[in-house]
Amino acid sequence: MPNRRYKARTSRAPDDVRAAQRLRARAFGPGEPEEGDAFDARCAHVLVEDQSDGRLVCCFRMLPLADGTGIAQSYAAQYYDLSALEGFGGPMVEIGRFCLDPDHHDPDILRVAWAAMTRHVDDHGVRLLFGCSSFKGTDEAGYLDAFAMLGDRHLAPQRWLPRARAPQVFRFAQLLRGRRTDYRLAMLRMPPLLRTYLAMGGWVSDHAVVDRQMNTLHVFTGVEIAAIPAARKRLLRAMAAS
């Protein structure tokens, strides 16, 4: 059945962007400035609203790039050496600042957000989605199974692998190699957005950036559209069509 309660739209006015910035500040905490950053003016902002009261319940931003030659201008390039991806051919989109209203937990919100993203991918022939996936806090100890699983099963192809640029990183692929991993616990500790990317065939950097300003550990994440499993593509397109 089509979802009638929530609706996604692209920002149309400065007030829309300010609303997204306020939601991000609530969702991400003190490290997220309510006035946003310089990337906001360059991005399209997707807003998911509750049609019953007009409340903004989810948002994210999209930075379109014609191909890999522009990837140094992305938000993620502040933290990762992405020179390997400069050779990626075809349209790319950086997905950033994806967040939900902390008071709303309806899974239909995420479905509507992913439907909007899927429509954009299909309408513009996007070949790669990328961004940063964040673990809350800067202590890796609680996430060792999750990081070990990423290193064992989900590293970026060598030809696209990001290199370290940030001053402080956790090199999980190297440090946790050979660790006996509880994969059930790993998935429980994995951020929900990253779980979704992995289900689509996504891959990650071999290290996490320690971001003390945002109080997160984050990994570069890529999803090559051509590699998304067929069943997952059908599901996404069915949601997009509803």
pLDDT reported for residue 242: 75
- DSSP string covering 13-59: SHHHHHHHHHHHHHHH-TTS-TT--GGGGGSEEEEEEETTTTEEEEE
In a domain, 25, yes or no: yes
In a domain, 128, yes or no: yes
In a domain, 87, yes or no: yes
pLDDT reported for residue 2: 56
pLDDT reported for residue 34: 87
In a domain, 81, yes or no: yes
Rounded CA gap, 31 and 77, in Å? 19
- Residues of the chain where predicted confidence (pLDDT) is lower than 50: 1
pLDDT reported for residue 4: 82
pLDDT reported for residue 30: 86
Whole-prediction pTM: 0.94
Rounded CA gap, 39 and 61, in Å? 9
In a domain, 212, yes or no: yes
The CA-based angle 50-52-56, given to 5 degrees, is 25
In a domain, 1, yes or no: no
In a domain, 83, yes or no: yes
CATH number, position 84: 3.40.630.30
pLDDT reported for residue 228: 94
Number of domain units in the chain: 1
Domain with 202, as residue range(s), is 6-241
In a domain, 130, yes or no: yes
pLDDT reported for residue 3: 62
- DSSP string covering the chain: ----SEEEEE--SHHHHHHHHHHHHHHH-TTS-TT--GGGGGSEEEEEEETTTTEEEEEEEEEEESSGGGGGGSSGGGTEE-GGGGG--S-EEEEEEEEE-TT---HHHHHHHHHHHHHHHHHHT--EEEEEEEEESS-GGGGHHHHHHHHHH-BPPGGG--EE-SSSEE-HHHHTTT----HHHHHHHS-HHHHHHHHTT-EE-SSEEEETTTTEEEEEEEEEGGGS-HHHHHHHHHHHH-
For the chain, the straight-line distance linking the first and the last C-alpha, in angstroms and rounded, comes to: 7
